């Protein structure tokens, strides 16, 4: 017997003894004492109770934004034994889809929408296995370059850093440049190191690519020498399947963008998805309960102490290339049928 099991068994025995002593002190019958003993859950019963409404949420790297979002959601939906969400640290948002598909105990995941591209040929039925609950925040593309770089085409053949493997930039960045038709020298080192090389003109590092919610702290800490800048990335038909138009504003980066100006770019939607469990199955019921509670309590995420971007969440926002999880659509439909307040 393990130490964990021994401790739990002792705890149950302590509870049982307390109940029996309490009943004995008031002269309870032997039948009442036996009934009390039966009401104390066994280890197996307690184990089943704890697991009955627990869900695993594949979130991402410890230093990334998705793990923070997962933690905030888990705090808001927590309902003891009735609902318990476990945020899971993973290799990154691009690996979360693998975790959702193949790892036992994972019901939910936070992914970038373009990760579906990886499965387009090898797993064309991917959309039958994954459904979305909620579109989260956009992750804007930041292409930050040295002064001598004037356009995206100038980066052809030059070193461009995409952060370490497993990050959003390391997956989406090369994919975006491939769609642009620009052949670059890709590197995957920590962004702080690459930015330092750019600042000092070392290592032939011409650009860094961030894909994350703006503003990025690295660009707010300066100063940057004149000429360092973000390159525009126009939105066109090449990006219609997974991406959205976006912009970087002077208010986001006052030291790098002049007042009144903006830099067009694209964004990668960050999405909360679920495995498309069979209707009515135990795992389907768990995701359904999570969906109902999260959607009903989303206003609790829109207060001080949580990421301020929760205030811009639109529960009805669609995700290109995926179907909505049935329970999420049913919740939205119920809200549409409710009469306006005061009527």
Q: Give 284-318 pLDDT, tens digit per residue.
A: 999 999 999 999 999 999 999 998 889 889 999 98
**Co-location of 120 and 210 in the same domain:** no
Residue 265 has pLDDT above 90, yes or no: yes
In a domain, 160, yes or no: yes
pLDDT at 30: 65
Out of 247, 269, 291, a domain closes at: 269
In a domain, 330, yes or no: yes
In a domain, 96, yes or no: yes
pLDDT at 46: 77
Residue 14 has pLDDT above 90, yes or no: no
pLDDT at 157: 97
Of residues 62 and 278, more confidence is placed in: 278
**Co-location of 151 and 265 in the same domain:** yes
Average pLDDT score over residue span 57-86: 91
Distance CA(12)–CA(33), nearest Å, equals 15
**Co-location of 73 and 147 in the same domain:** no
pLDDT at 6: 46
The residue with tokens 């964004």 is 267
pLDDT at 316: 94
Contact by Cβ (8 Å): 77, 297: yes
pLDDT at 18: 52
Average pLDDT score over residue span 138-160: 96
**Co-location of 17 and 75 in the same domain:** no
pLDDT at 283: 95
In a domain, 342, yes or no: no
**Co-location of 97 and 149 in the same domain:** no
In a domain, 343, yes or no: no
Kindly report the CATH number assigned to the domain that includes residue 238: 3.40.190.10
pLDDT tens digit string along 171-202? 999 999 999 999 999 999 999 999 999 998 88
**Co-location of 265 and 143 in the same domain:** yes
pLDDT at 92: 78
Of residues 24 and 65, more confidence is placed in: 65
Out of 216, 242, 269, a domain closes at: 269
**Co-location of 214 and 226 in the same domain:** yes
CA-nearest of 223, 207, 209 to 146 is 207
Distance CA(235)–CA(257), nearest Å, equals 19
Of residues 183 and 17, more confidence is placed in: 183
**Co-location of 148 and 210 in the same domain:** yes
Q: In the structure encoding, which two tokens stand for residue 42, read together?
A: 């066994």
Distance CA(155)–CA(159), nearest Å, equals 8
Average pLDDT score over residue span 232-241: 93
pLDDT at 219: 92
Residue 69 has pLDDT above 50, yes or no: yes
pLDDT at 134: 94
Distance CA(60)–CA(45), nearest Å, equals 32
The beta strands (E) that lie in the chain are given as 54-60, 84-89, 106-112, 130-145, 159-161, 185-187, 205-212, 229-230, 244-249, 262-275
**Co-location of 193 and 297 in the same domain:** no
**Co-location of 204 and 179 in the same domain:** yes
In a domain, 115, yes or no: yes
Tell me the CA distances in angstroms from 304 to 72, 274, 308, one per residue in order: 12, 28, 7
Q: Is the peptide bond before 215 cis (omega within 30 degrees of 0)?
A: yes
Tell me the CA distances in angstroms from 297 to 25, 157, 310, 325, one per residue in order: 45, 49, 12, 18
**Co-location of 54 and 132 in the same domain:** yes
**Structural domain harbouring 196:** 138-269
**Co-location of 132 and 142 in the same domain:** no
Q: What is the DSSP letter of 336?
A: H
Contact by Cβ (8 Å): 82, 290: no
Distance CA(141)–CA(264), nearest Å, equals 10
Out of 30, 47, 64, a domain closes at: 47
pLDDT at 1: 42
Q: In sequence order, what are the beta bridge partners of 106?
A: 56
Q: What is the pTM of this model?
A: 0.78
Average pLDDT, the chain: 87
State the total domains in the chain. 3
In a domain, 211, yes or no: yes
Percentage of the chain with pLDDT > 70?
87
Contact by Cβ (8 Å): 244, 172: no
């Amino acid at each position: 017997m393990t130490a964990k099991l021994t401790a739990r068994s002792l705890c149950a025995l302590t509870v049982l003894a307390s109940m029996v002593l309490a009943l004995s002190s008031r002269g309870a019958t032997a039948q009442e004492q036996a009934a009390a003993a039966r009401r104390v859950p066994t280890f197996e019963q307690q184990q089943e109770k704890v697991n009955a409404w627990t869900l695993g949420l594949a979130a991402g790297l410890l230093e990334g934004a998705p793990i923070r979002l997962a933690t905030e959601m888990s705090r808001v939906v927590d309902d003891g034994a009735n609902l318990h969400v476990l945020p899971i640290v993973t290799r990154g948002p691009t690996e979360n889809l693998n975790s959702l598909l193949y790892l036992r105990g994972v019901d939910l995941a936070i992914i970038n929408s373009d990760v579906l591209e990886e499965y387009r040929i090898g797993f064309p039925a991917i959309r039958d296995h994954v459904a979305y609950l909620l579109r989260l925040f956009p992750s804007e593309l930041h292409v930050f370059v040295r002064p001598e770089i004037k356009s995206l085409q100038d980066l052809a053949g030059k070193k461009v850093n995409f952060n370490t493997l497993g990050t959003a930039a390391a997956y989406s960045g090369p994919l975006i440049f491939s769609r642009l038709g620009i052949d670059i020298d890709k590197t995957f080192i920590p962004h702080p190191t690459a930015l330092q090389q750019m600042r000092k003109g070392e290592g032939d590092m011409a650009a860094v690519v961030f894909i994350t919610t703006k503003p990025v702290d690295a660009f707010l800490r300066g100063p940057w020498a004149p000429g360092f800048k973000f390159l525009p990335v126009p939105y066109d038909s090449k990006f219609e399947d997974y991406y959205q138009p976006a912009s970087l504003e002077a208010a986001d980066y006052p030291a790098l963008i002049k007042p009144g100006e903006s830099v067009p770019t694209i964004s990668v939607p960050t999405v909360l998805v679920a495995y498309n469990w069979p209707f009515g199955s135990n795992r389907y019921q768990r995701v359904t309960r999570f969906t109902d509670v999260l959607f009903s309590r989303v206003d609790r995420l829109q207060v001080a102490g949580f990421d301020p971007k929760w205030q811009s969440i639109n529960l009805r926002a669609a995700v290109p290339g995926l179907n909505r999880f049935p329970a999420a659509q049913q919740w939205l439909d119920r809200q549409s049928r409710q009469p306006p307040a005061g009527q």
